[in-house]
Structure 1
Amino acid sequence: MKTFCYHLIIISLFSVALAGCSGEGTDNAQLEADISPVIPKVNSTVTAVRVGDNQPVKKGDVLIVLDTATFKIAVSQAEIALAQAEKNVALADNNKTSASVNVSNVTANSDAVATTLTAAEADIASAKEQLQVAERNFDRYAKLLEQKSATQQQFEQFKANKAEAEAKLQSVVSKRNSLLKQIKAGRLEIANTRTQVSNTSEGISIARLAVKQAQVNLDAAKLQLSYCTIKAPANGIVSKKNVQVGQVVAIGEPLMAIANDNQVWVIANFKETQIEKMRVGQEVDIDVDAYSDTTFHGKVESFSQATGARFSFLPADNATGNFVKVTQRIPVKISMVADKNMKYPLRAGMSVNAKVKTN
């Protein structure tokens, strides 16, 4: 009886131990990490390669230097174009100032002519009065001459006075007409000079836009020049180095990659029948094939929204008539903390066994 109880206790403890170790595991899993490509943004020739294979680098470290001659010329040309555009703005400003001064001068001249016109109108009125007096005297002495009450000399004098008054009136009228023409011409000149001012204002606006365009071109040229120095996009290890001094590189050509050596995670491809009880946040035991003497730990971070087969180059089409049911796999992302101990360096692509504690 005692022996039976003893065996029952052992079996119960073993069952509890098995229950505590329940979970879903898979060996279809590997380590992943961010791998940043290093690609040129300009076409040029490699003049220097500052790093070697598998060398640690930090973000911003210079990796590759490209020939800058062509791009420096482009920057110089853009600087010259900007200077010319700025000079054109200064010239347009001067033209506007000159046109504004001309408007003021022409307006002043027109005002002076208008003042002279007022005086001429007064002269006309005075000349008309003098002519009227001269005509009355002429008519009166003409009658007196007929009556023999005045001499021929007196008559001739008043006749001359009349002719002189007529000539004076004609003169001041001609002067008035001339002044009217000057005023008309002055108004036309004022309109023209104001048009010049307006045109120069538009010219200034266009010149300033040309300055902005030249500045943009200069910034673009400097940006292209900066691309001749290729820097590390992130911290990590140089991988897949495929560049040599003297090599002519093209935009988008992969030259090397920077693999992140500080943060890795696991992508485990569980069968679709295994994920029923899996939840985000569940703990995971991770055994890395390279290190059989230790177990790493992580947590379920997220589930893929599609099976791995749906992302294949030629996904299966079950509507072709020949259907064979295959258990699909769901990629599960498992976050983990990389061991800082250099005894267990973790690298992207390593094979692992992942077991999710679903109990």
Structure 2
Amino acid sequence: MLKLFRSAASIAALILGIAGVFLVLYAWRLPPFTGTVQTTDNAYVRGQVTIISPQLAGYLAEVAVQDFQHVKAGQVLVKIDDRIFEQKLQQAKATLASQQAALANSEQKRRSDEARIASSKAQVDSAKAALTAAEANWKRIEPLLERGVTTQSQADQARASLDQATAALHQADAAEEVARQDLTSTLVNRQSLEAAVQSAEAAVHLAEIDLQNTRIVAPQDGRLGEVGARVGQYVAAGTQLMALVPEKVWVIANFKETQLAGMKVGQPVTFTVDALQHAELTGHIERFSPAAGSEFSVLRADNATGNFTKVAQRVPVRIAIDPNQPLAERLAPGMSVIVSADTSTAASDVPATGTAPGATPPAQVSEQ
């Protein structure tokens, strides 16, 4: 009887041991219990968190929003005291007006130089006419002087008139050349004045941009995090004032590399959200990370030194959340989720919007 009892106890212990092994294999989804649904709890809701910072330094004159407030694109969040920047704009406008006046004066000088050239040309023509008359007079008197018909005094006077007319023509030519050089100088100086006007206009635009940047606005629709800005606070360029979280979110699931074999872009997934009492939502695989998460680590492990223990790496998988799900509006970046992906979906049933590890990439991939 005792022997029979010991035999039954041994059989029961053996059965319990085998059941325990199978239970462990089932819990870890190891053969023969490997299924088509891959699950991971290393998954979180993600979103684009934008840090709002000023481009200028100054004192905050107004904080128009509160913690966790919903804002629209273009809505004023914070105002910096703009009195200094307003005066800089007025100063830049005054400089621009001065440069424009100098350019206008250059234009007037150009016209004056052109008029001087015209006047010099007229003087040259007049000098040429006087020279022609003097030459004709000399040609008449010179033969008469040789025959003794005229006096030496009249001949000397005619010769002097000819010399004076020649000198006057040279003087008129020189005056015309001076007028032309003055016009060239004016035109060259005008280019410098035009550049000065353009520089002054750019300074005005920069001052206008600085004045506009005293009003810090929301870059897009979303909700604010904690607002750290305070009225009267002095801020420098780059000071973190608050964070803006847009409405669009997605899920990043870090699957083990051993779970990726049957995954494809477009496959349906389900995920439960811890913060929503494990409510179940749906989505689909959008794209795969180009490398394992360890490759993006700041401190990467060096497996070439010391003893080596193989550890299954995790590859981030981006999951798009299907629309028309009321609970999806309550998702916020950072929430923990549990993702389950069905790897039995046929390749023909999935849209080609991304690339799985080791697969041929499609012609075009939509980007977020």
Higher relative contact order (CA 8 A, sep 6+): 1
Q: Secondary structure at the match of 1:295?
A: strand
TM-score by length of 1: 0.84
Identity of aligned residues (%): 32
Contact 1:338 1:346 in 2 (8 A): no
Contact 2:288 2:317 in 1 (8 A): yes
Structure 1 stretches of 4+ with a deviation exceeding 6 A read none
Match of 1:197 in 2: 183
AA of the residue aligned to 1:80: A
Please give the alpha-carbon distance, in whole angstroms, between the structure 1 residues aligned to 2:141 and 2:241.
101
Match of 2:61 in 1: 47
Match of 1:320 in 2: 305
Please give the alpha-carbon distance, in whole angstroms, between the structure 2 residues aligned to 1:314 and 1:258.
29
Q: In the alignment, does 2:135 pair up with 1:121? A: yes
Contact 1:72 1:225 in 2 (8 A): yes
Please give the alpha-carbon distance, in whole angstroms, between the structure 2 residues aligned to 1:60 and 1:88.
40
AA of the residue aligned to 1:318: N
> Structure 2: 5+ residue runs without aligned partners?
1-32, 345-368
Match of 2:109 in 1: 95
Q: In the alignment, does 2:343 pair up with 1:358? A: yes
Pairwise CA distance, 1:323? 2.3
Please give the alpha-carbon distance, in whole angstroms, between the structure 2 residues aligned to 1:59 and 1:231.
7
Q: Give the paired residue count.
A: 313
AA of the residue aligned to 2:322: V
Pairwise CA distance, 1:293? 5.7
Match of 2:173 in 1: 187
Q: Secondary structure at the match of 2:208?
A: helix
Contact 2:222 2:245 in 1 (8 A): yes
> Cα deviation per residue 1:218-259 (whole Å; 9 max; x = unaligned)?
000110111100001111111032111111111111110111
Residues 274 and 51 of structure 1, relative CA distance in 2, 3 Å threshold: same
Please give the alpha-carbon distance, in whole angstroms, between the structure 2 residues aligned to 1:176 and 1:44.
80
User: Could you tell me which of 197, 209, 232 is aligned with 1:246?
Assistant: 232
Pairwise CA distance, 1:292? 3.2
TM-score by length of 2: 0.82
User: Could you tell me which of 271, 275, 285 is aligned with 1:300?
Assistant: 285
AA of the residue aligned to 1:91: N
Matches within 5 A, 1:28-47: 28-47=42-61
Contact 1:288 1:352 in 2 (8 A): yes
Match of 2:95 in 1: 81
Q: Secondary structure at the match of 1:131?
A: helix
> Cα deviation per residue 1:38-87 (whole Å; 9 max; x = unaligned)?
11000111011000001110111000000101111110110001101110
AA of the residue aligned to 1:175: S
User: Could you tell me which of 89, 107, 117 is aligned with 2:121?
Assistant: 107
Residues 26 and 107 of structure 1, relative CA distance in 2, 3 Å threshold: same
Please give the alpha-carbon distance, in whole angstroms, between the structure 1 residues aligned to 2:64 and 2:281.
36
Contact 2:281 2:325 in 1 (8 A): no
> Structure 1: 5+ residue runs without aligned partners?
1-18, 135-160
> Cα deviation per residue 1:249-274 (whole Å; 9 max; x = unaligned)?
1111111011123x211000000110
AA of the residue aligned to 1:266: V
Pairwise CA distance, 1:167? 1.6
> Cα deviation per residue 1:7-49 (whole Å; 9 max; x = unaligned)?
xxxxxxxxxxxx9x73111000010111121110001110110
Residues 301 and 218 of structure 1, relative CA distance in 2, 3 Å threshold: same
Match of 2:256 in 1: 271
Contact 1:89 1:204 in 2 (8 A): yes
AA of the residue aligned to 2:313: Q
Pairwise CA distance, 1:338? 5.8
Please give the alpha-carbon distance, in whole angstroms, between the structure 2 residues aligned to 1:258 and 1:276.
37
Bigger Cα Rg: 1
User: Could you tell me which of 245, 268, 274 is aligned with 1:259?
Assistant: 245
AA of the residue aligned to 2:159: V
Matches within 5 A, 1:324-339: 324-337=309-322
Pairwise CA distance, 1:339? 5.7
- CA-based RMSD of the aligned residues comes to 1.9
Please give the alpha-carbon distance, in whole angstroms, between the structure 2 residues aligned to 1:113 and 1:129.
25
Contact 1:127 1:169 in 2 (8 A): yes
